[in-house]
Amino acid sequence: MAERFQTPLYVYSADQMIERLGLFQQALANRRHLVCYAVKANSALAILKVLAEHGAGFDIVSGGELARLQAAAPEAVGRVVFSGAGKTIDEIDQALEAGILAFNVESEAELGLLASRAARRKRKARFSLRVNPDVFAETHPYISTGLREHKFGIDIRQARRIYVEAARSRWLAAHGVSVHIGSQIRSAEPFGAAVARVAKLVRELEKDGIRLKTVDAGGGLGINYHLGEGESFDAQSVVGEYARAVENALTGLDVTLLLEPGRFLVAQAGVLLARVLYVKRNGKKTFVVTDAAMNDLIRPALYEAFHQIVPVAPRPGRAAPVDIVGPVCETGDFFARDRKFQPVEPGDLVAILDAGAYGMAQSSNYNTRPRPAEVLVRGAELKLIRRRETIADLFAPEIL
């Protein structure tokens, strides 16, 4: 693949994504549910199409992501929930027009705007309030969202009043309630705690005569980026435990459960393939310089995230500590620091693992670097799903 499509190159396994989606669907077989893949994790059109074919719904956060679904899987638009704290008028109109399943509304002001836009087109808007449950989840501070101090959601203590007020609007239909406490959360417990708080709200609303149809437990289930050699990741039991925690919290409630997993479906299905350009020594340090850089995969630079890296064709010899870095002019442009690594030579290929989520989706053209190509593997089939950008692509919007 590296020879055919050059590097850096994202390579994904469609089979693994489908398998992961199936794990959620099987674990929730006893309850009405919809797994709404969080498009932000990897928004490649071809990936959206594959997941839609296997029954996924989608969680979007922009009009752009909605347009992606309209292009890749128009039949799935009715299975879309729209999250995000800053929806614009245009985005709300676009989603009303498309007929999405529901808006996950993040403020009273947004709810007011939604009502007025729905009134203009004389079509009811289905909404869920995204409540903030004030639950702490152990993860990186940049991707933790479920505390009152965060910008996300509506204080759960205000939610009941807002639903009751919204019930008076002709153009709003209370569809459900949603919650999302953060990302890369490795334990099921905080999910259960958050959904338990939401379930309590659903029961209170029943007393007010408001019957919600859905509870959306958000995304955030984490993976193990640190698997040691010979260790394996038991995705099925991780999903099973998570599903049980969420289900238990919903016992006795006749609601459809929505989930918004992103990372869990696609992270481990993807690698970023890079070629070694140079191996250089500065004093005691050895740097392996690859043709991939922070613009292609920013997670290590942005969150000090750990990604395993493996040589594609390992050479014999003793592993020694190296920094694996890209060509971008920033000290933060690294993939690994002081990592024990087998000897490599210029021209060798390395694979940066678990790069299927928030890799390409967060890439940029920093340093005027064209973004990588993407390949999707399905069974024995291999398909280029995005060609490598050209310099002309990069210049296209510019005016001289």
Residues annotated as part of the active site: 329
Within positions 359 to 398, which residues make up the interface with ligand LLP, using CB under 6 A?
Answer: 362
Q: Which of 8, 57, 219, 300 is in the footprint of ligand LLP by CB under 6 A? A: 219
Within positions 44 to 103, which residues make up the interface with ligand LLP, using CB under 6 A?
Answer: 59, 83
Pairing mode, if any, of strands 256-259 and 373-378?
A: unpaired
User: Considering the rule CB under 6 A, would residue 218 count as an interface residue with ligand LLP?
Assistant: yes
User: Considering the rule CB under 6 A, would residue 184 count as an interface residue with ligand LLP?
Assistant: yes
- Pick the closest to residue 297 from 336, 355, 353 (CA basis): 355
User: Considering the rule CB under 6 A, would residue 263 count as an interface residue with ligand LLP?
Assistant: yes
Amino acid at 369: R
CB of 71 to ligand LLP, least distance (A): 21
Calculate the CA 85 to chain-centre distance. Answer: 16
User: Considering the rule CB under 6 A, would residue 134 count as an interface residue with ligand LLP?
Assistant: no
Piece of the chain touching ligand LLP by CB under 6 A; list 22-30, 64-72, 217-225, 244-252: 217-225
User: What are phi and psi for residue 375, nearest 5 degrees?
Assistant: -125, 135
b/e sequence 71-86, b meaning 16+ C-beta within 10 Å? ebbeebbebbbbbbbe
Q: Which is nearer to ligand LLP, 58 or 341 (CB)?
A: 58
Q: What is the DSSP letter of 155?
A: E
Q: Which is nearer to ligand LLP, 335 or 358 (CB)?
A: 358
User: Considering the rule CB under 6 A, would residue 358 count as an interface residue with ligand LLP?
Assistant: yes
CA–CA separation, 16 and 13 (whole Å) = 5
Size of the site for ligand LLP (CB under 6 A): 22
Token pair belonging to 305: 């995230």
Pairing mode, if any, of strands 309-311 and 349-352?
A: antiparallel
Within positions 163 to 182, which residues make up the interface with ligand LLP, using CB under 6 A?
Answer: 180
Q: How many residues does the chain have?
A: 400
Q: Are 142 and 362 in contact (CB under 8 A)?
A: no
Piece of the chain touching ligand LLP by CB under 6 A; list 13-21, 72-80, 198-206, 355-363: 355-363
User: Considering the rule CB under 6 A, would residue 216 count as an interface residue with ligand LLP?
Assistant: no
DSSP 14-67: HHHHHHHHHHHHHHTTTS-EEEEEEGGG---HHHHHHHHHTT-EEEE-SHHHHH
User: Considering the rule CB under 6 A, would residue 268 count as an interface residue with ligand LLP?
Assistant: no
Q: Which is nearer to ligand LLP, 101 or 276 (CB)?
A: 101
DSSP 4-29: HH-SSEEEEEHHHHHHHHHHHHHHTT
CB of 40 to ligand LLP, least distance (A): 6
| Cis peptide bond N-terminal to 321, omega within 30 | no
Q: Which of 14, 23, 41, 375 is in the footprint of ligand LLP by CB under 6 A? A: 41
Q: Which of 299, 339, 369, 371 is in the footprint of ligand LLP by CB under 6 A? A: 299
Q: Which is nearer to ligand LLP, 212 or 357 (CB)?
A: 357
Piece of the chain touching ligand LLP by CB under 6 A; list 165-173, 247-255, 262-270, 347-355: 262-270
Token pair belonging to 188: 């099921």
Pairing mode, if any, of strands 270-282 and 9-13?
A: antiparallel
Q: Which of 133, 146, 262, 372 is in the footprint of ligand LLP by CB under 6 A? A: 262
Q: Which is nearer to ligand LLP, 276 or 352 (CB)?
A: 352
Q: Which of 143, 258, 301, 328 is in the footprint of ligand LLP by CB under 6 A? A: 143
CA–CA separation, 264 and 368 (whole Å) = 31
Q: Which residues bind ligand LLP (CB under 6 A)?
A: 38, 41, 59, 83, 143, 180, 183-184, 218-221, 260-264, 299, 303, 357-358, 362
